[in-house]
């Protein structure tokens, strides 16, 4: 196999000034970069969209002539993803872009791959192996900020459900730890049901319905992805809704801004995980591989979305333009995760790219902003033997009400 440095030299594109489209010298690319897209848990809209973003970017010039992209889905067993990583490394991967199932279980295999020159870029979920790049919004405070929003809406008192994600995943743990750091400050807030919904609307609807059967007196729901399913479970029970905080599904955003839903009792905030992190991670990886960017392994922060009911704006086209952040229900299913687009990071993509993984006709890859923001330490989540900031888990999006 060619020396990896030689491969990168052969495949290098010209260094660019800010705002210049990536260009490939004629005849410079004799061998494509071998990139693996490694998913662990799959089967919900969010995971499908993150994969489709990467596929669409890989099919966009000039990447389409530079990248050999292969997708592997391992499931929720860490050992299965470890085995997948090992096969990718042995197959001569240049880069692995991945949603890791565990923050620690994959570390040894990742280190072996790094030692052989493989670039590991994790998106959304993170690992503690320091040779990997973690691209995530995890340290921007989804759990604590949405929990504080729910506390404020309820006036510091009420029975609530916790609708969680995938057991054992760093994203779920960090979100829940942040939320509980807030809920535990309010003696009037009682968690009366806690369940795993696997970040999926249908599963959330089913699990919320079970919780409602046992605890019909719920006053609010704190939810990770799948939040629209929680609303459906409430509607299935009757005509009364309760405050729900959740992530970025199109159905949830439309419901929050719907006067009829508000009249039934729905309040909340749309925040949470942007699928766009996968595209950002992929473009960063390609800029490193093509030597456009000199970036050492680090924890990289992606901004936290935060959309209140009064801020929901429906797009007229298939991109995020003019401040819009949701789509008409006639265009996308309710489970479509809106924060898949980013006019700054991912201007090459459209709504259709996220749905079917196709490139936008006439689009070319645009360079990323020069600045890469470093994320804070999250012990056991994105680093080992490290200290968290003194203000970790401190809500900053809204002013906390006083605890009774």
Predicted confidence at residue 23, as pLDDT, reads 43
Instruction: Map residue 146 onto helix, strand or coil.
Output: helix
Banded pLDDT at 18 (limits 50, 70, 90) = very low
Average pLDDT over residues 128-133: 98
Average pLDDT of 195-207?
95
Cβ 217 vs Cβ 159: under 8 Å: yes
Contact between residue 103 and residue 168 where contact means Cβ atoms under 8 Å apart: no
**Gap between the Cα atoms of 8 and 112, Å rounded:** 20
Same domain, 168 and 232: yes
Task: Provide the terminal-to-terminal Cα distance of the chain, rounded to the nearest Å.
Answer: 66
The mean pLDDT of 183-211, rounded to a whole number, is 96
Choose among 118, 80, 123, 74: nearest CA to 98. 123
- Residue 13 has a pLDDT of 35
pLDDT at 294 over 80: yes
Residue 259: per-residue pLDDT: 97
Give residue 21's pLDDT band: very low, low, confident or very high (50, 70, 90). Answer: very low
The CA distance from 281 to 278, in Å, is 5
**Considering the domain boundaries, does residue 111 fall inside one?**
yes
Mean per-residue pLDDT, 49-75: 96
Residues 151 and 248 in one domain: yes
| Angle CA 391–395–401, to nearest 5 | 120
The number of distinct structural domains making up the chain is 2
Identify whether residues 43 and 129 lie together within a single domain.
yes
DSSP H helices in 96-238 = 107-115, 142-154, 170-183, 201-214, 227-237
Chain Cα centroid distance, residue 262: 27
CATH number, domain of 152, equals 3.40.50.2300
Look at residue 20 in the predicted model and tell me its pLDDT.
38
Residue 170 confidence (pLDDT):
79
Share of the chain above pLDDT 70, in %: 92
**145 and 131 inside one domain:** no
Residue 172's nearest CA partner among 31, 42, 87, 273 is: 273
Q: Choose the final residue of a domain: 212, 247, 271.
A: 271
Q: Tell me, what's the pLDDT at 25?
A: 41
- Cβ-based neighbour number of residue 181 at 10 Å: 17
373 within a domain of the structure (yes/no): no
- Specify if 125 maps to a domain: yes
Report residue 228 CA to chain centroid gap: 17
Q: What is residue 233's predicted lDDT score, i.e. its pLDDT?
A: 98
180, 239: one domain? yes
Highest mean pLDDT range out of 30-34, 249-253, 400-404?
249-253
Last residue of a domain, one of 331, 356, 381: 356
In a domain, 256, yes or no: yes
Q: Are residues 39 and 116 in the same domain?
A: yes
Same-domain pairing of 223 and 157: yes
Same-domain check for residues 278 and 188: no
Look at residue 232 in the predicted model and tell me its pLDDT. 97
Do 17 and 52 have their domain in common?
yes
> Does 333 fall in a domain?
no
Q: How confident is the model at residue 404 (pLDDT cuts 50, 70, 90)?
A: low
User: pLDDT at position 402, please?
Assistant: 85
Q: For residues 171 and 25, state if they share a domain.
A: no
Based on the fold, state whether residues 61 and 20 are members of the same structural domain. Answer: yes
**pLDDT > 70? residue 7:** no
Task: Output the CA torsion sign for 309, 315, 320, 326.
Answer: positive
Q: Judge if 284 and 235 occupy the same domain.
A: no
- Give the residue numbers spanning the domain of 282: 4-137+274-304+340-356
Q: Is residue 368 part of a domain?
A: no
Average pLDDT, the chain: 91
- Round to whole Å and give the CA distance between 347 and 349: 6
Q: Which residues contact residue 190 at a Cβ distance below 8 angstroms, ignoring those fewer than 6 apart?
A: 158, 159, 160
Indicate the pTM of the whole model: 0.87
Contact residues for 127 (Cβ-Cβ < 8 A; gap 6+): 100, 102, 103, 104, 106, 107, 110, 120, 134, 170, 382
Per-residue pLDDT of 236-270, as tens digits, reads 999 899 999 999 999 999 999 999 999 999 999 99
pLDDT, position 10: 36
Is 384 inside any structural domain?
A: no
| Angstrom distance (rounded) from CA 109 to CA 287 | 24
Confidence band for 30, pLDDT divided at 50, 70 and 90: low
d(CA 318, CA 341): 10
- Which band of pLDDT confidence, cut at 50, 70 and 90, is reported for residue 348? very high
392 within a domain of the structure (yes/no): no
pLDDT tens by residue, 316-338 = 999 898 999 999 999 999 999 99
Residue 366, pLDDT score: 97
Q: What is the pLDDT of residues 150-177, one digit of tens each?
A: 999 999 999 999 999 988 887 899 999 9
Could you say which of 224, 248, 271 is where a domain stops?
271
């Amino acid at each position: 196999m060619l020396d990896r440095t030689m491969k990168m030299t052969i495949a290098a594109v010209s260094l660019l000034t800010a705002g210049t489209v990536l260009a490939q010298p004629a005849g410079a690319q004799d061998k494509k970069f071998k990139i693996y897209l490694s998913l662990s848990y799959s089967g919900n809209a969010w995971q499908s969209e993150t994969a489709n973003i990467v596929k669409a970017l890989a099919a966009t010039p000039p990447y389409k002539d530079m990248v050999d992209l292969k997708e592997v889905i391992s499931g929720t067993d860490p050992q299965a993803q470890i085995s997948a990583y090992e096969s990718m490394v042995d197959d001569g991967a240049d880069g692995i872009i991945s949603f890791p199932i565990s923050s620690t279980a994959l570390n040894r295999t990742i280190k072996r791959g790094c030692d052989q020159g493989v670039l590991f870029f994790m998106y959304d979920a993170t690992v503690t192996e320091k040779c990997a790049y973690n691209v995530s919004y995890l340290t921007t405070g989804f759990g604590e900020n949405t929990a504080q929003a729910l506390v404020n809406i309820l006036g510091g008192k009420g029975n609530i459900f916790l609708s969680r994600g995938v057991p054992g995943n760093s994203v779920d743990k960090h979100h829940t730890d942040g939320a509980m750091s807030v809920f535990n400050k309010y003696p009037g807030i009682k968690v009366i049901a806690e369940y795993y919904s696997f970040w999926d609307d249908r599963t959330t609807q089913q699990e919320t319905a079970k919780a409602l059967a046992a605890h019909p007196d719920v006053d609010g729901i704190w939810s990770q992805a799948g939040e629209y399913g929680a609303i459906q479970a409430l509607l299935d029970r009757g005509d009364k809704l309760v405050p729900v905080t959740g992530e970025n599904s199109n159905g949830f955003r439309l419901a929050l801004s719907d006067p009829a839903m508000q009249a039934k009792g729905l309040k909340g905030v749309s925040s949470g995980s942007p699928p766009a992190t996968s595209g950002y991670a992929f473009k960063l990886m390609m800029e490193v591989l093509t030597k456009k960017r000199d970036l050492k392994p680090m924890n990289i922060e992606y901004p936290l979305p935060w959309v209140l009911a009064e801020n929901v704006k429906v797009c007229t086209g298939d991109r995020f333009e003019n401040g819009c952040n949701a789509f008409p229900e006639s265009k996308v299913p309710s489970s479509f995760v809106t924060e898949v687009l980013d006019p700054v990071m991912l201007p090459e993509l459209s709504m259709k790219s996220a749905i079917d993984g196709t490139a936008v006709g006439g689009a070319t890859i645009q360079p990323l902003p020069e600045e890469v923001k470093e994320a804070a330490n999250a012990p056991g989540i994105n680093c080992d033997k490290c200290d968290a900031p003194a203000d970790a888990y401190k809500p900053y999006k809204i002013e906390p009400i006083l605890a009774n």
